Amino acid sequence: MANQTRPPVVTIMGHVDHGKTTLLDYIRKSNLQAQEAGGITQHIGAYQVDYQGKKITFIDTPGHAAFAKMRQRGARVTDIVVLVVAVNDGVKPQTIESIRHIKESNVSVIVALNKTDLKDVQPDVIKGELAEHEILVTDMGGEIEAIELSAKTGKGVDKLLETITAMAELLDLKADREAALEAVVIESAIDQHKGSVATVIVQQGTLKTRQELVTADGDVTGRVRVLTNEFNQRLDNVLPGNPAEIQGLDSTPDVGAVIRNAKEEYKFEETATKEVAGADDPYASWDFTAALEGEKEKLKIIFKADVQGTLEAILQTVDEDSVLIISSGVGIVTQSDVEMAETTGARIIAFNTSVPGKVKRLAKQQGIKIKEYDIIYKLIEDLQKQMLKLIEPTIDEVQTGEAEIIQIFEMKGRKIAGCKVITGEIKKNDLLHLKRGEEILFNPAIASIQHNKAEVEKITAKSECGITFKNKNSNFQIGDKLIAYHEEDD
């Protein structure tokens, strides 16, 4: 076995909107930016370019603060970090956070001072700001290269690539392609056509088609059915320092998980695997039954996302004291998700993944709320509002009616709530809370309202009616209150 030179793995870091994706766009002569909702990179991708006959592998990490964990993982599998700082904006919170990850990972760094094509910018001021955070560039007496560039026009990009290749030579990056396979998962997802897929960067050994694979923790296994690069071109094998997408795994591995050859014997286990993978799932050991029966009210949520890395980043924002994760996973929202939401009283949050029409219709019939997002910070803002409502339940709700259940009937196997409207009105399509005391039991959806043997669309104050709900498990009792409301947008 002999070590051979491998391509450097380069991670792009920096604050949101400072031009990370635009820089990769220019380098790759592609248009990743146009594919990203809201102009923000939503998940990690691995891409490779050829500069003057030398390959460079890039990891494009997201810039939003919610993706700190993903950026940390990116730094731990990289050789060189390019820290992008916009000269018209300076050092910002995610810049500082990126610097912390760089220091913790002890990797080489190059500063890319972007947007120098703008008027009246002062790169030297930004260099001073970086020095305050112990990023001392050569102009300030330090050893870190700072490249002034414009990702929009391409000015200085060649100098950046030249600096990367020169630094890679100094680092003398080598790996043994004949060694036992080890590849790090950069992203994973469920594709409706491909099944479970994982984007990896090979660290040692050679990844090949028809290879039997297993993650270091043994949770995911599979056989390589197809290997492709970022352009969907098929590959026969992948050498160290190179990225590829694997098809053929039996499930989606965690971001940062180490994939190995199932037929090889490994002498040493990597004690840092769990730390790198972030595999410590804070919800894995929860007793959901006990939590559902607990006294403290919690926001119950089912999360679905397009890819594993994004899902994990969302879960990092959740306050365990106010939110109960009923389930989470990657892929489309399914009928089973709706059934679980109906049983547990949860709502469904879907990020950048589809909700089939039949699933939407079922959710509407069962009174299950599904919220869809394609921009991460909007999801987090709304989630934080919902968590605040546990402190002040009507923080963004306007009550339009209140009714009390005074009798319970049963007809054709269905329970009917005999109600008296106390204030306002109750309409068939209202948003509703069913409350017992101050506790919200669940959010029902009305199937029908009967008044004087006729079906009506609404019932007003001081009137009595019979209400049937769409929800199968409508465990209401006499004395419960039905609260109608509408939500006010900020």
Mean pLDDT of 347-375: 91
Higher pLDDT, 56 or 291: 56
Same domain, 8 and 153: yes
Mean pLDDT of 350-363: 91
What one-character-per-residue DSSP string does 272-284 give? THHHHHT---TTT
11 plus 125 within the same structural domain: yes
Q: Are residues 337 and 479 in the same domain?
A: no
Least confident range of 110-119, 140-149, 244-253, 382-391: 382-391
**Of 216, 239, 247, which is closest to residue 57 (Cα–Cα)?**
239
* Higher-confidence position of 40 and 397: 397
Residue 186 has pLDDT above 80, yes or no: yes
**CATH code, 462:** 2.40.30.10
**pLDDT tens track for 406-464:** 999 888 778 899 999 999 999 999 999 999 888 888 888 999 999 988 999 999 998 99
**What percentage of the chain reaches a pLDDT higher than 90?**
47
Q: Are residues 27 and 164 in the same domain?
A: yes
Asked whether 258 and 190 are in contact (CB, 8 A), the reply is: no
Same domain, 39 and 162: yes
Q: What is the mean pLDDT of residues 308-332?
A: 85
The residue from 175, 204, 239 where one domain ends is 175
Reduced to 3 states, what is the DSSP secondary structure of residue 39? helix
Of 388, 409, 431, the position where a domain reaches its end is 388
pLDDT, one tens digit per residue, over 72-128 is 556 568 899 999 999 999 998 888 888 988 887 788 999 999 999 999 999 999 999
For residue 392, the model assigns a pLDDT of 53
Q: Which domain holds residue 381?
A: 288-388
**Same-domain status, 60 and 154:** yes
CATH of the domain at 331: 3.40.50.10050
Please provide the average confidence, as pLDDT, over all residues in the chain: 84
**How far apart, in whole angstroms, are the C-alpha atoms of residue 313 and residue 316?**
5
Whether residue 474 is found in the same domain as residue 416: yes
Are 93 and 146 members of one domain? yes
What does the alpha-carbon distance between residue 353 and residue 371 come to, in Å, rounded to a whole number? 11
366 pairs with which residues across the strands? none
Decide if 351 contacts 307 (C-beta within 8 A).
no
Quick one: how far is CA 321 from the chain centroid?
21
Q: What is the pLDDT of residues 219-273, one digit of tens each?
A: 899 999 999 988 888 999 999 999 999 999 999 988 888 999 999 988 754 433 3
Please check whether residues 155 and 219 belong to one and the same domain.
no
Q: How do residues 200-226 score in pLDDT, each as one tens digit?
A: 999 999 999 999 999 998 989 999 999
